[in-house]
Amino acid sequence: RQACAVESLAFHNPNLTVNVLFMVDDGHHQKQNQSKVMIKTMEKLREKYLNVQFIVADLGEYLAGTLLEKWYHCTDWRTGPYHVAHLSDGLRLLTLHKYGGYYFDLDVILVRPVTFYRNFVAAESGSEFGNSVIHADYGHPIMQLAVNDFPSNYNKNAWAHNGPDLLMRVMKTYCREENFNAINYVSCRGFGALPNSTFSPIHWSNWRSFFSQRPANETGAPGWITKQVVGVHVWNKLSFNETAYKNSTQEYVRLVRDNCPVIYSIAPERF
């Protein structure tokens, strides 16, 4: 399912370089437990898409000399209940600060090109930002603010505090705007907030709808995939135990078939 997200980005954006980052923790280069299926999947994607790269980075080296280095080595962040998610929250901000570009979670399936949109965060509802999809040009001051905020306001016990809530704090500061609905490219000096329909047309609370069977005579795209939808957040954290049946009418399977053709071709009957 994660490979489908990678393929969909490469499939719809052939002019983008798609870097898939694997972090090795704290200099301990332990051999990853890569199954034959995982290796085959990566080989198939590289064979089909020349714009996909798999990169392994040493986490300690990646953080060295950055504002997150002291937080990583000298705080008790690992004892928090959400420490893995929080590390991911920090790394995506740091990566955009260091290099610029797009960031996507591995459960966002692109359904059309994304490059029309630049310098944005995306809402996940009518009242909150998500941090699953972000773009920032290299050197953009909003990423500097975000990387400053992460260690200085870190809270290990609050799941969203260092991710979506951090983006809300930073956007309100940078845009000088407290009203969520008034944050846009104009008020925010060229850094925008895309509506939830752009990447989260289905709210996380309705994730089960991706796996319900549609009537066999409904062969077209579902009505919620409007022209405004660029990608579909399918909420893997909630749905990973749900079974997808390859030849079914499930909406998730339809998304895979239409936007991840290589992964669909090698997927088993249940995946």
Q: What is the pLDDT of residues 32-68, one digit of tens each?
A: 556 788 888 999 999 999 999 999 999 999 999 999 9
178, containing H or E segment: none
Domain assignments of the chain as residue spans, ordered by start: 1-266
- Asked whether the CA dihedral 89, 181, 229, 9 is positive or negative, the reply is negative
What CATH number was assigned to the domain covering residues 1-266?
3.90.550
pLDDT digits (tens, 9 = 90+) for 220-245: 777 889 999 999 999 999 999 999 99
CA–CA separation, 193 and 204 (whole Å): 19
Q: What is the pLDDT of residue 33?
A: 55
Whether 228 contacts 195, CB under 8 Å? yes
DSSP state of 96: H
Residue indicated by tokens 């089909």: 48
Q: Assign 19 to helix, strand or coil.
A: strand
pLDDT at 222: 79
Tens-place pLDDT, residues 77-107: 999 999 999 999 999 999 999 999 999 999 9
β-pairing, 231-233 vs 108-110, is: antiparallel
- Amino acid 26: pLDDT: 60
Would you state the structure tokens that stand for residue 50, as one six-digit string? 């020349």
Mean pLDDT of the residues in the chain: 93
- Tell whether the model's pLDDT for residue 204 goes beyond 60: yes
What confidence score (pLDDT) does residue 34 get?
Answer: 63
